Chains A and B, each alone.
Chain A
Amino acid sequence: MTEPMHGVGQILLQNQAHVLDAWLARLHDTAPSAQPASLQLLKLELGTLVEKLTAFFLTGEGEGDALKSVEAQAAAISAACARDGLTPMETATLILSLKAIAGDLLNRESGRGTNELDRRRAALDAVVDKLALVTFASFVETREEIIRRQGRALLDLATPALPIWRHIILMPLVGIIDTQRARQVMEWLLEALAREEAHIAILDVTGVPLIDSRVALHLTKTVEAARLLGSQVIVTGISPDAAQTLVKLDVDLSSMITRGTLRAGLAEAFRLLGQNAKGPTETML
């Protein structure tokens, strides 16, 4: 059982430089979209992989830490490829091309047609196939992580709470309000109300494409939560189209103050603040 692995290990050990060179020589074909800037790093990473692979075969054990170490290295390479914008196809091809390169080497060093050769090639193929799978899983994981991070970044961007006047904050909502966004809007609004010691929050929904019963529910909950903090919420920017639709849906928005435009909302805010706010009259806006 250990012999074919050990044999592969010996051959790799004596030919590490050759394997790496042959691998790199194919890079242009296997991964055409690799950027020159990232090539240098990729070369180092592939060199490490060849070393670890050699060490793994030399241990002669099918499982264990040596294999884990090889897999970890393959996963790292794959993650780097994902970040550099290589396609999953390119990344898998890159790993799988090791089969052909090392296979050629085994053919040459083992002598053709022997049982020994077959067993060695089988041992090699099994490991490289496994690495390709690891690579693929890692690639997908990295891409998903990138998407999650971008999503979070977008969320942060999309929900600023602006202190626009003493005791008044403005939160312009732009884009789709899904459950996650809605939760965040509520959280940030309440935080901002407390932080700015604001009495009034203006939620402007001009940039929200559609208000259905779910969005209405989230708005209602936000208004209620703000009320518990002693603050009032004015919702502005409901479009005429949306207003007609909301009437048909018959959602109950009576708990909140609504105004058609941000301007009217601001005027209402100043009115509510009354004499306390040394705010401007509407003509000054």
Chain B
Amino acid sequence: MAIEINKELSGGLVEQRMVYESGNEMAAYAAHQINYHVMGYFPISPSTEVAQFLDLMKANGQHDIKLIPADGEHGSAGICYGASAAGGRVFNATSSNGYLYMLEQMPVQSGTRFPMVMNLVCRSVSGPLDIHGDHSDLYFALNTGWPILMCRDPQAVYDMNIIAIKLAEDPEVRLPVLVASDGYFTSHQKRRVQTFAHRADVHRFVGELPPSGFAHVLDRNNPITVGPYMNEPDYINNCYQQTMAMYRAGDVYDRIRQEYALLTGRDYPILDLYRMEDAEVAVFLMNSASEIIKDVVDQLREQGIKAGSIAPNMIRPFPQKEIAEALRGVKAVTIGDRADSYGGHGGNMTNEIKAALFTHGNAATKVISRIYGLGGKDFYAEDGHHFFRLAIDAAEKGYVEVPFDYYGHTAGDPDKAPKRVLEPLRFEDLKTGLITAERDETTGKLKVKVPPVRQLTKKPKRLAPGHGACPGCGIFSGLELFFKGIEGDIVALYQTGCAMVVTTGFPYSSHKATYIHNLFQNGAATLSGVVEMFWERKRRGELDGLGLREDFTFVMITGDGGMDIGMGPAIGSALRNHKMIILEYDNEGYMNTGAQLSYSTPLGHRTSTSNVGKHQGGKLFHHKDTAQIMAATNIPYVFTGSESVPQDLLRKAAKAQYYAQNEGLVYGKILITCPLNWLSEEKIGQTLIDDAVNACFFPLYEVEQGITNITHNPEEKGKRIPLADWLKNMGKTKHMTRPEYAEALKSFEDEVERRWQRLKAKHESPYL
């Protein structure tokens, strides 16, 4: 990253240089110059790139930040909390639902007064999953006790990141600081950005080390107790300390930004006021949209309209006095909130600005509140003109016609209202009788019969074509093969991931039967709720009239990422033993967010957070053995399967259905290809999986009522191949076959062999 354009004359005292980069790149660039001690992170769009860029720079030896891939955002916040309590500099970046997942940790971080810096790359928090930018995550941050700095463009992302650490560590403040920029609009748009040319100058500004004199947990001579049990009457005093620190942060910021302006020539006063000196009408917006509106202001000024715009560079502490000051003399202001505060008669900014006006005795300025740009809906100049028209109208009339409303929502054409396209699947087509699984009375074993795949082509597929997966994606061939082995009706729950995203892009859905999505830390718990409601409503006779011929088979689909962040609920559901199947498609990484490492990524494999360079050779630790973890919960049936051995997977599907309908929870894992991120040819997907099976990296086996059975032994079939024969055909692993990675390859081979030998021992003994 970081293309250097030229050394330019600095507007300030330090030597600077120009780069052409995006907001995410600049957050990473600032972090690498600060050279934080630790970053605990978990991928989520659009902030993920920050960790990716830092990992890439790390692989090239450009910094020594310890980058820790957490098991979820909650975990990442925990890592950051611990690391900051241990006295070093700590950094994180997140977005949206990820931020909410770590939310409970935020007031702990601020309430116990450990500074750190986190970038919130703003994105919608939503039910139907929206990955684009608005401020609904940011508004949750308002009450966490973190000072919040705002970034309108990539330059501001860089500058605010440098200011933020100094603010956080200031003795008067000692609070974690949030740096907020707009997802995609800022995070993914490249601009010319001026930076400090030398890290030494950055360190001279922020301090090479955090200020000393503050207690931390690694000082054996000064033992401390962090986070005691504190109720009334003491707790309110802790809060009072915190609120005072927060208000001081406003003054400290004002001092720091002036120092920064001297050094760099770039100034970020608490309010960014544009042509407000004599403005009669104004618009208040935050971040990227607040730049677009300046063009509109210019256009209106040319028409003789006294227009101006206001945008805050800091919203915690809220610049109440400054805003009231700026609006004195303004006849009407339109406030655009890029998130609703449902039921609040205005977004959070609207209501805080109204409070500012009231507090400072301004009852004259008319306030129009509009919710706009939700979920990444673009804000064009023409939208800005509309906001000004509302203000001009109110100024002329002397009252506000519609004080609060949405802007940019559309009613829809009644002729295009959704109509059913496909008939629901017919039960008799799904219940073919071609597949049976029954208990053998004499042996007590399950007897399974499956036909050749040719006969099963008669069975309708449960997924419709037209989904948006990449060419050669292994998910859907794998899932459909499994579904072919299931008879009758299913209800499916997909956790967040590629399979979910590409099959349900609104208003389309590729699921012919009923489908549910829930966020991927919680799918197993959610489906267990569905399952238990099914049995309870069935018991009460409430499902009798709904045409159900046989009990549903409940299937949860997850990627390997979902089995990282969702491991806890998956184990919880397994221990409760609900009658359902968890099927994991493992493509060895978080492919939906851009190929970050998952715990299932094997050692040495290249991902966007385990880069290969002079100083790092891909992933640093071994792959997770999820099947064995799930087997340890003693559920009735665990299996692994592969598209390359279809009859084996069909038999396991039939068994899975039997156990999920009669005994309890089933977990299965299928390995599938991701040609895009494995950097492999699309057409050889099946071959690659077959190679993984025959290299004993992905042995096909089952654990049925606690007894392990290898169902496809490459050694006995004379098919075993060296691991390198599998690795050489994937761009992500090709480097491992080179001599300089011999040690990593050996370590990977040893681990695969150890697990294989252990599996064989289990196969031999029913007690293991």
Same assembly: no
Interface residues of A (CB under 8 A from B): none
Interface residues of B (CB under 8 A from A): none
